[in-house]
Structure 1
Amino acid sequence: MALVIAGERSGVGKTTVTLTLLAYLRRRDRLVQSFKVGPDYIDPMFHQHVTGRACRNLDPVLTSEAYIQQCFAHHSQLSEYALVEGVMGLFDGVSHTLREGVRVASRREAPTSFVKDKGLMTNDKGLMTDFASTAHIARLLDLPVVLVIDCSRLSGSVAAIAHGYRSFDPRIKIAGVVLNRVGSDRHLSLLKDSLEPLQLPILGVLRRQDNIAIPDRHLGLVPTAELPELNTLIDRLADLGDTCFDWQRLLPLLKSKPLPSSPSSPPSPSSPSSPVKIAVARDRAFNFYYQDNLDLLQQLGAELVFWSPLEDPDIPEDIQGMYFGGGFPEVFAQQLAKNTSVRDAVKMAILRGMPTIAECGGLMYLCEQIIDFEGKSWSMAGVLPTSAVMGGRLTLGYRRAVALQNNLLVKANTTVYGHEFHRSHLTLTPTQPLFETSRYDCDENMGYEGWGLPANVHASYVHLHWGESVEIPQQFLKECLKVASLMALIIQY
């Protein structure tokens, strides 16, 4: 068993409640494994900071239902307690096409249990309307849900909300509610009186907190590495956890047990005969990585060398590949620009054939310039003949991307599924783009995207999770091995 923390909508305090629960358990030296529904990078950073264990993303768009079950079963059984933080509101997902009564997963047929005649939530167009939602994950893993309700502007209406969420989908087991942002004892009394006829347990009550706030900016919360007072905040949350929750009811729900019929884990992919060293940029500017991607690289035989384009004077020695994840290079553009020795080294390595993955923020770093929100220009690596310009428009959503050519990661005509989340755009589009993209939940064409020139570069705004696509890191390491072999020949002669 484990527990899902869901919200009745976005912004109700799911992350605060989740971190409070995690902080309470870790203060008592409990082993806790956390999970996050959706493609989010930043919330998992906070989870990991509290638990000391990498948070795992559960996203059936980027992976598959089977992968989610395998991932959850494997990682939850290695801890005492397991907790899943949801995304948006409980039933907020994306539309997903049903074919002949069976949902078609992102790369394969769905489990036969998810069929229309068994009550799957669909509309009159035959679309599953809560695919990839918190509710979808709760059903998939057969986990109870705690519903977080923002009570700051509610009294008696809280009962209608709780009743609606509990009855909307009878397959969802609502274990209880957490009342957040309660204003006073009188306010709490009104809420309790309203909920009492429902006989729905109140598992926690959090008052309005003026001294507990995580700062945010244009893409969500400020990452953990930029918050020097974070440990103080976590201590406050742990203190809050001492008094605000019904632990007698919560602890049995959180206790981790293997799924009763969880799918077996896939066999570990074979490793190459010789090690491959991959330089992974990880600092305040570049820190958006799915832990599963990094794990796959290591399972395939790669040695990951973490380094900082902000602080280090040069790229790591004796590497055969580079990986630049997303992040906030625009926030640190001035510092990145000043580190000319690293910018030059990155450009030289790529021009000499170094296989390089650059996702979103990494793509921006490979551009000629980043133009920040104030219109100031900062020189970057200069590999791609374009500039990244920050703006107010948010590009957000799942993408279906079809490869237009053979490239560093995938072969032509391969379809991959990813996620975009950025406020920048490029001044020039590539003449030979990597992908033709469309929205995941409809046929709306999103245009052409991604840079594959030089041929050893994969630079794209689309974030990919490799959990169901082991061939992607395999292809990357295959190209890196070619570099290793070439280097060996050069040394030999």
Structure 2
Amino acid sequence: MSIIIAGERSGVGKTTVTLTLLASLCRRGAVVQSFKVGPDYIDPMFHQRVTGRACRNLDPVLTSESYVQQCFNRHSQGCEYGLVEGVMGLFDGIGHDTENQLPTDFGSTAHIARLLDIPVVLVIDCSRLSGSVAAIAHGYSSFDARINIIGVVLNRVGSDRHLSLLKDSLKPLNLPIIGVLRRQDNITIPDRHLGLIPSDELPELNAVIDRLADLGDSCFDWDQLLPILQSQSLPITHYPLPITHPPVKIAVARDKAFNFYYQDNLDLLQQLGAELIFWSPLSDAGLPQGVQGMYFGGGFPEVFAQQLAENTSARDAVKTAILAGMPTIAECGGLMYLCEQIIDFQGNPWSMVGVLPTSAQMGGSLTLGYRRAVALQDSLLVPVGANVYGHEFHRSRLISPPKQPLFATSRYDCEENMGFEGWSLPTLHASYVHQHWGESVEMPQQFVKQCLI
């Protein structure tokens, strides 16, 4: 059986607890499959760095309930343990959707726990409480009878005396303490404007993982934990997608500037007959030879804007390819790269590819949330009138909006208009909206088809 690591709210240490468990299990030689609830790119990078296996996102908002179940079952095959990291607080979802009659916690960690029928370990930040821990634990464990909270992890415990008070308070609940993590000042992962700094930018990460494994060996009650962690994979039928064409070479930008990709999207392209060739707009002189399409994911081009600007040969190669009609997908950071400039947080302008007649300016406000996007015109991926569900997560804005926008966007859970965005050229789809193609296979199919023309 797998477990979900949930928090009583954001910031309680779910990621630290999850990475600690993963590091300790992998040190024991276990094969562990990890998952992440919600639209997250960075936490899965850390999971993969620890386990050596691609972490999978479980998001019924971007995909569907059935896809979440299929994804979990498929990738749990052949693994000894399964571990799901939750999102925000246990019951935090997108809110009530009257039109579709969705529950108030749709897309939450609790929703995923019910869908997968797996137990929950609740992480509680104990740094500013003692006896109140019992009220928190009791409230969460009794709020929804369908959720099986099998124990708690007490995080940021200050002293032996503090731990004693916490244990005494929890004793009447008969709720097992699965783990105790003290305040670990020497185990930190730095962050910046969009969250944790991605794993590829942290040369000291291996040492941090070793310290997490040491911590995991001692802080968890393994006698309680191991019996419930063992994964029970469910048999599923996998239908391969038909391929009737030679391999299609697609250049995927992947380096420190561009690394926000759902692994399922990359898998789908390969299943559709694509040969993915990874390259770096930061350091490669040009595109890989013989490619027939390009895919630019999100990431942090603003952090590496000077280096991107200085690699003029790569920028010229991308611009030439797009103007010559090479099918191209650009999401968020990829869109920014295709603009004339990126203006960084200090106000410095850096030249980019220049296909889109606008500049991306970094700002202080965060644009974040699920989106319903209606296509206002045909694009490389979607026909006019199509409904697309995605997610935005950026601190930049375009100085000049598109004159003929690709999408009219609204919040997922209400009709609140969020405006217009996205660029569509005959063979270019560029948008701030990140998409997961798990339930929208027609989009990568259309991309691959255009790459063959």
TM-score with structure 1 setting the length? 0.91
Consecutive unaligned residues of structure 2, counting only runs of 5 or more, are: none
Question: Aligned partners of 1:195 and 1:219: how far apart in 2?
Answer: 36
Q: Is residue 231 of structure 2 the alignment partner of residue 256 of structure 1? A: yes
* 1:348 CA drift (Å): 0.3
- Following the alignment from structure 1 to structure 2, what is the Cα–Cα distance between the partners of residues 24 and 251? 12
For residues 173-209 of structure 1, what are the alpha-carbon distances to aligned partners after superposition, in whole Å with 9 as ceiling and x for unaligned? Answer: 0010000000000000000000000000000000001
Q: 1:465 aligns with which of 423, 433, 436?
A: 436
Partner of 1:431: 403
In 1, are the aligned partners of 2:78 and 2:233 still within 8 Å (CA)? no
Report the equivalent of 2:114: 139
Which residue in 2 is equivalent to 1:192? 167
Shift in Å, 1:267: 1.7
TM-superposed CA distance for 1:253, in Å, is 1.4
Does 2:317 correspond to 1:317?
no
SS of 1:467's partner is coil
Looking at structure 2, the residues matched to 377 and 446 of structure 1 have their Cα atoms a distance apart, in angstroms, of 27
> Which one of 156, 160, 169 corresponds to residue 131 of structure 2?
156
C-alpha distance in 2 between matches for 1:341 and 1:253: 54
Structure-2 separation of matches of 1:327 and 1:272: 33
Superimposed CA distance per residue, residues 104-163 of structure 1 (whole angstroms, 9 cap, x where no aligned partner): 4xxxxxxxxxxxxxxxxxxxxx65210000000000000100000000001000000000
| 2:205 matches 1:234 | no
Letter in 2 for 1:138: A
Asked whether the equivalents of residues 26 and 50 of structure 2 are also in contact (C-alpha less than 8 Å), the reply is yes
Residues 93-112 of structure 1 show CA distances to partners (whole Å, capped at 9, x for unaligned) of 1024256xxxx4xxxxxxxx
- Distance in 2 of aligned mates of 1:61 and 1:246: 34
Q: Which moved more, 1:244-253 or 1:42-51?
A: 244-253
Are 1:98 and 1:128, in contact at CA under 8 Å, matched by a contact in 2? no
Alignment of 1:16-95 (within 5 A): 16-95=16-95
State the AA in 2 paired with 1:189: S
- How far 1:266 moved relative to its partner? 5.0
Distance 1:272 1:413 in 2: 29
CA–CA distance in structure 2, aligned partners of residues 399 and 170 of structure 1: 31
Choose which of 298, 302, 311 in structure 2 pairs with 1:330. Answer: 302
Q: 2:373 aligns with which of 383, 401, 409?
A: 401
Q: Which among 182, 186, 191 is matched to residue 207 of structure 1?
A: 182
Identity %: 78
Structure 1: distance between partners of 2:123 and 2:348: 42
SS of corresponding position for 2:382 = coil
Corresponding residue SS for 1:452: strand
SS of residue in 2 equivalent to 1:448: strand
How far the C-alpha of 1:21 sits from its partner, in A, is 0.3
In structure 1, the partner of 2:97 is 97
AA at the equivalent of 1:281: A
| Contact 2:134–2:173 (Cα < 8 Å) also in 1 | yes
Between the aligned partners of 1:81 and 1:171, the Cα distance in structure 2 is 23
**CA root-mean-square deviation:** 1.0
Where does structure 1 lack aligned partners over 5 or more consecutive residues?
A: 105-125, 483-493
2:352 to 372, 375, 380: 380
TM-score under structure 2 normalisation?
0.99
Which residue number in structure 1 is paired with residue 191 of structure 2?
216
Q: Which residue of 2 aligns with 1:174?
A: 149
Q: Which amino acid aligns with 1:405?
A: Q
Q: 1:456 is matched with which residue: 419, 427, 432?
A: 427
Counterpart residue type for residue 210 of structure 1: D
What does residue 280 of structure 1 align with?
252
2 CA distance for matches of 1:250 and 1:48? 22
> SS at 1:129's partner residue?
coil
Q: Corresponding residue for 1:475? A: 446
Give 2:270's match in structure 1, choosing from 286, 298, 301: 298
**Which 4+ stretches in 1 moved above 4 angstroms?**
none
Q: Is the 8 A contact 1:337 1:378 kept in 2?
A: yes
Distance across 2 between alignment mates of 1:236 and 1:49: 14
Answer yes or no: is the 8 Å Cα contact 2:23–2:213 preserved in 1: yes
Question: 1:422-465 CA distances to partner (integer Å, 9 max, x unpaired)?
Answer: 00000111111111110001110111110002x11100000000
TM superposition shift of 1:270: 1.1
1:13 maps to which residue?
A: 13
CA distance in 1, matches of 2:276, 2:177: 46
What is the number of equivalent residue pairs in this alignment? Answer: 453
Contact 1:145/1:173, CA 8 A, preserved across alignment: yes
Residue 410 (structure 1) aligned to one of 374, 382, 385? 382
- 1:390 counterpart letter in structure 2: M
Checking the alignment, whether the CA contact within 8 Å between 1:145 and 1:176 is kept in structure 2 is yes
